[in-house]
């Protein structure tokens, strides 16, 4: 399986020390070795404005299994991580760009077949992929973190580590990465066909089954992805606090990025420390607050309600500044 060979590259690069420079050197060595042996990295994603694709937990579970099947059937690509949103997908892939596109085409074909079987009508004509090259180690880190936190920024019921429909909840969480309710090989033929939604059941017996789908740890190079970061603390910073990197990734992908109140408060705090003598944003003059409102609106995509709430401004004033930005 492609994943197994890819993780072998990670095993070949042994940690040589514990200092910052030693850890960073190991990450660079691993990244460069992967480029030489397996090819370039890409962020493959689909339009975020597409109609709903995954309608309920059953459909998400089916998609998770189909992705594992496609990864097995496309040995020339390696999935580093991925995340399923209700109406679009994100994949961080390694391999030739044409192979990445073929992987997505196979996933789309099988997903369309699943929808037809379930008599669910979804127009997938706009469900098309865009591949963005990932050229540097730091960019790969940022793209992994962006993908793994994608649901968290729009769904307050999850952390970056709890969303089940992707590989993000396996990163630096051995309890999730190693979880196995049962093995694929232990299922009856009937249950295998039911799980895969296919009569073709020639897939690895050691596929881990969790919550009625194939675990992403069975088809993704999680160990490799973890080793792209210096350590768990470095990864935690990227998925929870590196707001500016998140904004740059969204800009490169042409997506709309959203921030939580806590993240925007952190941005306001830093801005006030640097430009307003450390004064609290809510205590600034009306003109200064309006300047901050413009920053939140134009640079961080904050909606009117959020701007009014964070800056203690009258909603009518914010609406007059940004007449078309109520959610």
Q: Give pLDDT tens digits for 123-158.
A: 999 999 999 999 999 999 999 999 999 888 788 888
Which pLDDT score is estimated for 269? Answer: 86
pLDDT > 70: percent of the chain: 88
SS in 3 state form for the chain? Answer: CHHHHHHHHHHHCCCCCCCHHHHHHHHHHHHHHHHHHHCCEEEEECCCCCCCCCCCHHHHHHHHHHHHHHHHHCCCCEEEEEEECCCCEEEEEECCHHHHHHHHHHHHHHHHHHHHHCCCCCCCCCCCCEEEEECCHHHHHHHHHHHHCCCCCCCCCCCCCCCCCECHHHCCCHHHHCCCCEEHHHCCHHHHHHHHCCCCCCCCCCCEEECCEECHHHCECHHHHHHCCCCHHHHHHHHHCCHHHHHHHHHHHCCCCCCCHHHHHHHHHHHHHHHCCCCCHHHCCHHHHHHHHHHHHHHHCCCHHHHHHHHCCCHHHHHHHCCCCCC
Q: Which of the residues in the chain have pLDDT under 50?
A: 1-2, 325-327
Which pLDDT score is estimated for 240? Answer: 81
Which pLDDT score is estimated for 221? Answer: 96
Which pLDDT score is estimated for 296? Answer: 87
Which pLDDT score is estimated for 4? Answer: 54
Q: Domains plus CATH for the chain?
A: 2-253 (3.30.70.1290), 261-321 (no CATH)
Which pLDDT score is estimated for 1? Answer: 44
Which pLDDT score is estimated for 16? Answer: 56
Which pLDDT score is estimated for 326? Answer: 46
């Amino acid at each position: 399986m492609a994943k197994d060979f890819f993780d072998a590259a990670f095993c070949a690069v042994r940690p040589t020390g514990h200092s910052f420079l030693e850890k960073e050197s190991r990450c660079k060595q691993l990244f460069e070795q992967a480029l030489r042996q397996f090819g370039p990295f890409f962020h493959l994603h689909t339009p975020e404005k597409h109609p709903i694709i995954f309608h309920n937990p059953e459909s998400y579970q089916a998609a998770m299994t189909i992705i594992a099947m496609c990864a097995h059937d496309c040995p020339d690509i390696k999935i580093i991580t991925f995340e399923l949103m209700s109406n679009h997908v994100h994949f961080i892939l390694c391999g030739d760009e044409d192979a990445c596109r073929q992987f997505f085409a196979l996933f789309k074909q099988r997903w369309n077949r699943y929808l037809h079987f379930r008599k669910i009508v979804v127009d997938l004509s706009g469900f098309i992929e865009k591949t963005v090259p990932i050229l540097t180690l730091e960019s790969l880190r940022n793209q992994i973190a962006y993908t793994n936190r994608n649901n968290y920024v729009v769904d307050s019921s999850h952390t970056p580590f709890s969303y089940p429909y992707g590989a993000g909840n396996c990163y630096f969480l051995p309890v999730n990465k190693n979880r196995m309710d049962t093995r694929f090989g232990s299922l009856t033929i009937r249950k295998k066909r039911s799980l895969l939604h296919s009569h073709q059941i020639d897939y690895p017996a050691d596929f881990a089954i969790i919550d009625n789908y194939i675990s992403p740890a069975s088809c993704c190079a999680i160990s490799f992805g973890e080793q792209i970061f210096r350590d768990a603390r470095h990864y935690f910073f990227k998925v929870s606090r590196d707001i500016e990197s998140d904004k740059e990734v969204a800009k490169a992908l042409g997506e709309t990025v959203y921030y939580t109140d806590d993240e925007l408060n952190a941005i306001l705090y830093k801005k006030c420390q640097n430009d307003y003598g450390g004064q609290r944003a809510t205590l600034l003059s009306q003109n200064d607050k309006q300047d901050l409102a413009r920053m939140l609106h134009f640079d961080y995509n904050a909606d009117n309600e959020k701007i009014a709430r964070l800056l203690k401004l009258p909603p009518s004033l914010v609406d007059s500044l940004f007449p078309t930005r109520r959610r």
